[in-house]
A and B are shown apart, each in its own frame.
Chain A
Amino acid sequence: MTSEFAFPPGLIMILGAMLIPLLGGRSRMLLLLGLPLLTLAAVWGLPADASLKLGFLDYTLEPVRSSVEGRLFATIFAIMAFAGGLYAHRQASTTELTAAFVYAGSAIGVTFAGDLLTLFVFWEIMALGSTVVVWSAGTQSAYRAGLRYLLVHLLGGVVLMVGIVAHVIDTGSLEFTAMQPDSFGNWLILIGFLVNAGAPPLSAWIADAYPEASPSGTVFLSAFTTKTAVFALLVGFPGADVLVPIGLYMVFYGIIYALLENDMRRILAYSIVNQVGFMVAAVGIGTEMALNGAAAHAFAHIIYKALLLMSAGSVLLMTGKRKCTDLGGLFQSMPVTAINGIIGALAISAFPFTSGFVTKSLETQAAANEGMLLVWLLLLAASAGVFLHAGIKFPWFVFFQKDSGLRPPDPPAGMRYAMWLFSFFCIAIGLYPDPLYRILPYPVDYQPYTIDHLVTQFQVLLFAGFAFFVMLKQMRRTLTISLDFDWFYRKFLKEIGNEFTLRTSVARETREQQVWAGLRRLIENLYKHHGPQGMLARAWPTGSMVIWVAVLLGLSLVLYYL
């Protein structure tokens, strides 16, 4: 334990975000770019064994714990906040920027959490921050989607908290360390993490909520929640076998739903599930190479997915349209957006000389090294599928296909700079993977650039592209959405709720009628007996009075004689 005070790097952005509403114009721009840089400096300035421990009741909290994994994820989160700030500065609302920076800061807080309680606190701040980011789009649909999003994450948070409590009762320790899903508590913790990763059955929240945010809001959202979950799985459950099938399911779920989708940002949201599926499966494989692969892939993925969503966000901002059926031919008037979108698309497809090529291949190679033939074959098919559903589909339907006649210009400078920056990273990491390899959790003994790898990758991707154009007719965009698990809480439960309301209101009506009828009968009876004509309300004649008095007197006479 070190005695020096280690400042939690995540707090720089969380606290700094409070200044955003106070500043405007240039000084706000400086703040948006300065906070992530300051965070980056704090992350790398922290000694490798830094730790901050606090006593709490009978437990020890560790709000700051240096780890190689944490540093890697914190680094990319800070870089993401930098580019996101640059992209969002001009058109995002103050609420959105503030919430986004709190959100990013709490994600960094998670990466330095040494105990489960600290992790939980930052986890929940993330849920709140991201919900506000969704809401700040200001539309009715964003409000509703944000509410659904919040409910899913609060549910995940409750499951996580119950798991943490059970885990602490079992082990007596709050420490956040590698676990196995072998007890009730650990299972719940795993489920809590998986909810945020977009695992089945709740995967739908990603494609439901993210595309409802503003153009820049979606860029922020794509980066933090799911990748923090990957980090938590990487540290908490490396080698948990159950993650392999879950990851593979996510991979294909993402592809199939993205193929069916018409909304460009929803295509990219489904593709987040697909990509996180690769990482989850790699964490499940659990070898050093696989874990390196998951970490490196997360790093590269944040960059190219943000780049793709920046490109899509620019299109949305400049055209006001988000459906593939309304778009097309935009490369003619938005060349910068198109080029950057294509670079992001090539990177996500793991095209040689891009960041995807040097990171995702670690995962597939790890599956091969473990002799997992089926997993390897499925991951290879999925790699082809990534090119199909995101690599070609997104740029093709947005920038090419038919000429929609739209001729919007490229977006303002800040947004273009942010895209160029991330395009640069996509290619730089692809060409010089060594700096990234050096900051991975384990030593890397892998050479991505072999003739064999290059040739096979080109074959897979180019023939996947060929399949796309051969089957283009089958992929005609339609004005549809696809049913998902969210149908249960958006339609089924709602219908049940409506039915319940209907039936209970009928039942209530009948009860009410019965009560009224009873009351009416009571009143009628009272009226009958006590009303003006009622027996008990009549004026009594004097004669009957005299008779009754005579009867009483007679009776008392009789009694007297007895």
Chain B
Amino acid sequence: MNTPADKSNHSPDKDAGKHWLYRSENLPKLWVIQIVILVLAVLPDFFLHHHPHFEQSGFTLDGSFGFYAWYGFLACAGMVALAKILGIFLKRKDTYYDE
């Protein structure tokens, strides 16, 4: 799968001797690879009509173009955001329960 490294930890001068994945000049390549994979994943939707699961109840969104792609993305973005918000209230130092 796609594995772009975390940008913030890298500056160009420190890259010598690092693994390919960790060199900052490779970061854009990794993003390009990822975008290509995503495009490939959506491509079949041009040729193929998904069978909606809930036709009888009038819900046909899941048969529409790219539904699974945007739904998967938004669901995850939503969950990360929700976790972030709940984290404000729930997070404590990991020594919280220590005696």
Interface residues of A (CB under 8 A from B): 252, 255-256, 259-260, 262-263, 323, 329, 332, 368, 371, 373, 376, 380-381, 384-385, 387-389, 392, 396, 400-403, 451-452, 455-472, 474-475, 478-484, 490-491
Contacts and interface: CB of A to CB of B under 8 A. Distances in A.
A387 B69 CA distance: 14
Contacts of A255: 79, 83
A467 B76 contact: yes
B73 A469 contact: no
Given A463-B69, A479-B93, A256 B83 contact: yes
B72 A262 contact: no
Given A385-B79, A403-B22, A462-B41, 20 more contacts: A256-B83, A323-B94, A371-B56, A402-B5, A402-B9, A403-B19, A455-B68, A456-B68, A457-B68, A459-B42, A463-B73, A464-B73, A469-B2, A474-B84, A480-B87, A481-B93, A481-B97, A482-B86, A482-B91, A483-B90
Given A260-B86, A403-B19, A469-B2, A483 B76 contact: no
Nearest to A376: B53
B6 to A, nearest CB: 6
Given A262-B94, A373-B54, A400 B21 contact: yes
Contacts of B86: 256, 260, 482
A253 to B, nearest CB: 11
Contacts of B76: 384-385, 387-388, 463-464, 467-468, 471
Contacts of A451: 44, 48
A400 B3 CA distance: 8
27 contacts: A256-B82, A256-B83, A329-B19, A332-B19, A381-B79, A388-B79, A389-B79, A392-B1, A396-B3, A402-B6, A402-B9, A403-B18, A403-B22, A451-B44, A452-B51, A455-B44, A455-B50, A455-B68, A459-B45, A463-B73, A466-B34, A467-B80, A471-B76, A471-B77, A471-B80, A474-B84, A491-B96
Contacts of B9: 402-403
Contacts of B87: 260, 480, 482
B85 to A, nearest CB: 10
B91 A480 contact: yes
Contacts of B92: 480-483
Contacts of B50: 452, 455-456
Nearest to A258: B83
Contacts of A260: 83, 86-87, 90-91
Contacts of B22: 329, 403
Interface residues of B, number: 53
Nearest to B18: A403
A275 B69 CA distance: 22
Contacts of B32: none
Contact of B79 (A259, A263, A452, A483): A259
B88 to A, nearest CB: 10
Nearest to B78: A381
A396 B2 CA distance: 11
Which of A252, A467, A474 has the most CB atoms of chain B within a 10 A radius of its CB?
Answer: A467
Nearest to B83: A259
B94 A481 contact: yes
B51 to A, nearest CB: 6
Contacts of A491: 96-97
Given A401-B6, A462-B38, A384 B72 contact: yes
A260 B80 CA distance: 9
B16 interface: no
Contacts of A323: 94
A471 to B, nearest CB: 5
Contacts of B53: 368, 376
Contact of A460 (B54, B71, B81): B71
A466 B73 contact: yes
A472 B3 CA distance: 12
A368 B72 contact: no
Contacts of B1: 392, 465
- Pairs of residues from A and B, 9 with the lowest C-beta to C-beta distance, nearest first: A467-B76, A381-B75, A460-B72, A459-B68, A368-B53, A259-B83, A463-B72, A463-B73, A384-B72
A371 B52 CA distance: 11
B5 A400 contact: yes
Nearest to A467: B76
A482 B90 contact: yes
B2 to A, nearest CB: 7
A371 B54 contact: yes
A464 B5 contact: no
B73 A256 contact: no
B91 to A, nearest CB: 4
Nearest to A396: B3
A466 B66 CA distance: 15
Nearest to B79: A385
Nearest to B30: A469
Nearest to B70: A463
Nearest to A262: B94
A385 B56 contact: no
B11 interface: no
Contacts of A259: 79-80, 83
